[in-house]
Structure formats: C-alpha cells, structure tokens
Amino acid sequence: MRLIMNDSGNDNYLLTPGPLTTSLATKQAMLRDWGSRDTDFIAITRRIQDRLLNIARVADSHVAVPVQGSGTFGVEATLGTLIAPGQRTLVLENGAYGKRIVTILERIGHQVSVLRWPEDQQVDPTALDAALREDAAIEHVVVVHCETTTGILNDMVAIGRVTKAHKRRLIIDGMSAFGAIPIDGDSVPFDALIASSNKCFEGVPGIAFALIARQWLELAEGNAHSLALDLYEQWRGLEANGQWRFTPPTHVLAAFDQALAEHREEGGVAARHRRYGGNRDILVQGMRELGFETLLADSVQAPIIVTFLMPADSRFEFTRFYDDLSARGFVIYPGKLALADSFRIGCIGALGALEMRAALAAVKATLEAMGIDDLASKATNQTSSLNRTGT
Ligand SMILES: Cc1ncc(COP(=O)(O)O)c(C=O)c1O
C-alpha cells in the first residue's frame, strides 16, 4: 500500500537527510526554462542570497556565495578559498563529515590539527579551549553543527565563544542544520557557515552556499586551489553583474527560491525547528515502542535524523526491512557509523506528524511481515550490504 498524504506529489517519502521530500510547488517551480542572463533569473539569485543572509542575521557583515554542486562542493570551495596556503586549521571531529573536512584540507595540502571524539559524543569546548591555548599556530577552527552521521548536535554557542575568545576564525559546516536549528551571527560569531539547498530548506539538490564575513573574503584572492571552486572569484563575478561565472543550475535555483518562500511562510527557522522536533519525537517514541533503540542520548539528539541500532533479533534482516519499507512508500537511510551497526531515519523534508505516524505504521507492518511481533532490541553486530554506503 502506498500512502500519499501531503502535497509533495511523491509516491515515496524520503526519510533521508537530503535529497529529501519536497513540496509539489517546489517541484513545479522547475517547469520553466530560464535564460541565465535574464533579469528575472538574476533577481532570483539575488533574492536567495538576501534571504539566506537575513535568516542568519548577518546581512551587514557577511556575503552569501552560492556554488554549483552538492554540499561537499561548498565545503571544499569554502575551505579552499578562505584558508591561505601555509595556515593551520583545527578540525573538531565527531563523525564522518568532520572526517571529510580533514580529508579535504589534507588533499588541498593545508596544515591540519584534529581533535576527535567518539561518534556518540558532542565536541567538548573545554578541549578546544586547551588546544587553542597550547597552539598559537592554529588560525582557524572548523566544526560540523549537526553531525549527520549520527544526528548529534554540537554546541555552537560554546564553540563560538571559545574560538572568539582566542581570536581565531570559525567555519561551520551547517549543512544539515541551517534553516531548522537556530544559529545567527549574534549568538555564534561565525566567519563562514556552509549549507546547501536540499536539506532543511527543502529545496532540490544542486546548490551549496557559504555565508562568509565580507572582510575575510576580501582577503582571499588567489588562495583557491581550484578554478571552479574559487568562492572569491564566484563572489566577484556575481557582484559585478549578478551572473554566475559558469552555467548556473537554473531550475535548482528556481526551486530553491520557492522553497525559501515556503520556509518564510511557515514561520522561518523557529517554525521549522518545531515541525522537525515534532517529527523526531513521534519517530523516537514510536520506534522505541516497537522495540528499537536509539544510539544517542535524547539530550544530544538533533531533530534532523535519528540513528537506530540494528536489533539483535535474528529474524530481523535489514535489507528486507529497507526494501519492504520502500515498497510501502518510505525510504530510510543505511547507517554510516564506525561505532556500531545501525540505520537512520530522517525527520526533515516536507513531512509532518501524519507522515511520521504513517511511517511507523509501515515499520510495524514490515516487522509483522518478517514474523516479528516482539522485537528483541539489543544492539548487534549484524552487517548488511546496504550499511555504510551512501553520501
Ligand atoms: C553535515 C554534512 N556535511 C556535508 C555533507 C555533504 O553533502 P553532500 O552529500 O551534499 O555532498 C552532508 C551530507 O549529508 C552533511 O550532512
């Protein structure tokens, strides 16, 4: 049975951290061909830039620079552009996306220091304080706001306070948080915040962007290791005539514009945070009632994606679970943990309480189809062919 409940027009709901379920109007915004030099199209890019800056309350101090590609393109472009050759960067790592940041910096040839925590633990600001006190050569700090590997939330206010007390630059990978987890330039004095169109803003994939302190970007000419991922040149190009240097993802931008309008109509970050929080609570409670265990303590669980431990029950086969849920209209996400075998279910996208309850009903029906009515919930080492794949 397929369940179609909201106006997404989907036959499948994506309970994944992006691409995710988008509204029908966002999809329909892509039904027009735009000339990349049209005044109307240039206005779309400008409107998106302005909205993003306003959402983060940094319109006076920062600029918004979009770049073609997925989120990783935005991360690599930002790090490559802002960090000058020879400068040292400290990465606070508690998951796969922090690790990817380290890989990017090493690949570019930058000097990297790493503070590492287990995937189920938050970054500790006191360790950051000690590291910055000890090593004067560190000029920049990079951290992931919500580590999508597990769904753990890092404390940006504390990290921002410590970083600024030591007068270092702060770069935040806010990919899976910006738009739904409150963050703004007043409470977190960030120098760069990176995110993409297809997570909490509920656009389609294809654009990443960074909100960058103007004064820092102005100093970044000639830093970038890459022509296409040079955000300084991208910014100068857009400033000059509103046009993208290279072919813009026109349809993706039109959809992002619509998605941002819906974000505002819904009530902005606060409203989206409320809806996703409601989704998470329904999901966690319902899954626990069915016998599943969450990886994270509730106190650090972001309303973005929830990691469930693979049940010990020998009747539970993840591949079959995934396929059956998919056939019932709900796509979930394999785990990405080094720590334990797991799977993830997202709370973000054009979804609400109705869809989350329907997803739980589908999970229950799937368990019953597997002959399980009393799931033995203890964690297991069971591995699946689907696990540890994906983005
Ligand atoms: C926190 C974070 N950073 C970076 C990325 C990479 O984005 P993409 O897969 O779009 O390249 C993701 C993707 O989920 C993410 O969640």
Q: Quote the longest CA-to-CA distance of the chain.
A: 64
76 and 168 in a single domain? The answer is: yes
What does the pLDDT look like over 175-187, one tens digit per residue? 999 999 999 999 9
255 and 288 in a single domain? The answer is: no
* Alpha carbon distance 360, 271 (integer Å): 23
Whether residue 279 contacts residue 273, with contact meaning beta carbons closer than 8 Å, is answered with: no
41 and 141 in a single domain? The answer is: yes
Q: Is the residue at 387 inside a domain?
A: no
Amino acid in the structure at residue 128: L
Once rounded to an integer, what is the mean pLDDT over residues 311-320?
93
Q: Which residue has the tokens 């590997």?
A: 149
How far does CA 215 lie from the centroid of its chain?
Answer: 26
Once rounded to an integer, what is the mean pLDDT over residues 279-287?
98
| Residue among 100, 175, 193, 252 whose CB has most ligand 1 atoms within 8 A, to mutate | 175
243 and 122 in a single domain? The answer is: yes
> Tell me, what's the pLDDT at 2?
41
261 and 284 in a single domain? The answer is: no
Quickly count helices (H) and strands (E) in the chain.
12, 14
- For ligand 1, atom 8, name the residue with the nearest CA: 71
Residue 77 domain boundaries: 32-265
Is ligand 1 within 6 A of the CB of residue 97?
A: yes
Kind of pairing between the strands at 207-213 and 13-14: unpaired
* Alpha carbon distance 308, 335 (integer Å): 8
Look up the pTM and report it: 0.94
User: Taking 70 as the threshold, does the pLDDT of residue 387 lie above it?
Assistant: no
What does the pLDDT look like over 203-218, one tens digit per residue? 999 999 999 999 999 9
251 and 275 in a single domain? The answer is: no
Q: Is the residue at 247 inside a domain?
A: yes
pLDDT-derived band at 336 (thresholds 50, 70, 90) equals: confident
130 and 57 in a single domain? The answer is: yes
Per-residue tokens: 115: 């503070």
57-71, 130-144, 241-255, 327-341, range with the lowest pLDDT = 327-341
What does the pLDDT look like over 99-136, one tens digit per residue? 999 999 999 999 999 999 999 999 999 999 999 999 99
Is ligand 1 within 6 A of the CB of residue 173?
A: yes
> Tell me, what's the pLDDT at 1?
38
Is ligand 1 within 6 A of the CB of residue 250?
A: no
What does the pLDDT look like over 37-65, one tens digit per residue? 999 999 999 999 999 999 999 999 999 99
Count how many domains the chain has: 2
User: Taking 50 as the threshold, does the pLDDT of residue 253 lie above it?
Assistant: yes
329 and 251 in a single domain? The answer is: no
